[in-house]
A and B are shown apart, each in its own frame.
Chain A
């Protein structure tokens, strides 16, 4: 015997269980049958049949098919190129890790210059590896001039890895020297000011090393330094990039 519920007709023994509805009043397939469904498709387009229009008893049957359909379409919509692992780590963890690294280096070395050199060397090691990831993910074309390179670093690379976009300006007439001006530096979020005995420490010197290493792997020798630093009392943080003469391929040596 059939019992009438709000959703439709259901067997009397199963009147509590919605999934056993045999005849659904809302479902287009149950109501109008094949002709009405075809009419609807023609009117609104092929892909409008979604879960909502399929009633419960059919939904049970088509569950597997819907699952595969959704998985297939989501795969196709992923952007081409390098496989993206969508694992995000916390920004605080990254900033605190960098801070712990600098603090430990300060404990290990007495002189500020040693700490700066060490950070630069570490950044160099990161840069020579990071450039491959950058080129694979961003798929940018070859830069034709130094200014394009500087723009690429500022607008694409910094945005991709640190989430900030520094502004670029050319500081020399020959077009060899550029400066990136960062008004917000995520690495120094928690550092208020440098301790008194570390007045000449370049806290973010790792970034200079990264840029230098990355440029060297695309055969562009450059000298990267901090021109201004907010932690030392200046108004903004400024990184200066000076492009040196292009190194010859044969003479290319990695400096340690």
Chain B
């Protein structure tokens, strides 16, 4: 269960960012922003020779005391960043991977919408529903 999910465009501006509303949202925005540096580092660290073998899933970007941040980059340099609560240790790597895969699929569906211009903010209901299903249930 994620606490914050963000979709970042190629030019590093957010296309979609949503977090659990009880917390200070600005803090999550800041966390995602700093994680972009780590993402860029990971992409460039691979080097030109390995660009074909580079996996889309980047894994744990960096852990803080409260949260863990995971990243995923598509081949069109669109980044998905997910912030997960550290106390939730039940989440395994496979689950994070499958969540990113679902995000990627929903993103491709949005791209196929003829009325969506690439680079616009994402306002789709289906995407919102999918993200809600992944966010943590706060009672």
Contact = CB atoms under 8 A, between A and B. Distances in A.
A190 B125 contact: no
B112 interface: yes
Contacts of B125: 192-193
Contacts of B114: 96, 98-100, 102-103, 190-191
A106 B112 contact: no
B126 A96 contact: no
A193 B113 CA distance: 9
Nearest to A201: B115
Nearest to B109: A190
Nearest to B111: A190
B130 to A, nearest CB: 12
A48 B105 CA distance: 51
A33 interface: no
A100 B112 CA distance: 10
B124 interface: yes
B127 to A, nearest CB: 9
Interface string A178-206: 00000000000111111100100000000
A16 B124 CA distance: 65
Nearest to B115: A195
A193 B125 CA distance: 9
Contacts of B124: 192
Contacts of B112: 92, 95-96, 99, 189-190
Contact of B115 (A98, A189, A191): A191
A92 B114 CA distance: 12
Interface string A152-165: 00000000000000
Contacts of B115: 99, 103, 106, 191, 194-195, 198
B87 to A, nearest CB: 36
Contacts of A198: 115
A119 to B, nearest CB: 13
Interface in B35-61: none
Contacts of A191: 113-115
Contacts of A99: 112-115
Interface in B102-139: 109, 112-115, 124-126
Interface string A57-97: 00000000000000000000000000000000000100110
A193 B114 CA distance: 11
A95 to B, nearest CB: 8
Nearest to B126: A192
A106 B115 CA distance: 9
A105 to B, nearest CB: 10
Residue with the highest number of chain B CB atoms closer than 10 Å, among A102, A192, A193, A194 = A192
A198 B125 CA distance: 17
A256 B113 CA distance: 31
14 contacts: A95-B112, A96-B112, A98-B114, A99-B112, A99-B114, A103-B114, A106-B115, A190-B109, A191-B113, A191-B114, A191-B115, A192-B124, A192-B126, A193-B125
Interface of B: 109, 112-115, 124-126
Interface of A: 92, 95-96, 98-100, 102-103, 106, 189-195, 198
A-B pairs, top 7 by smallest CB distance, nearest first, are A99-B114, A190-B112, A103-B114, A195-B115, A190-B113, A191-B113, A192-B126
Given A191-B115, A193-B125, A198-B115, 15 more contacts: A92-B112, A95-B112, A96-B114, A98-B114, A99-B114, A99-B115, A103-B114, A190-B112, A190-B113, A191-B113, A191-B114, A192-B124, A192-B126, A194-B115, A195-B115
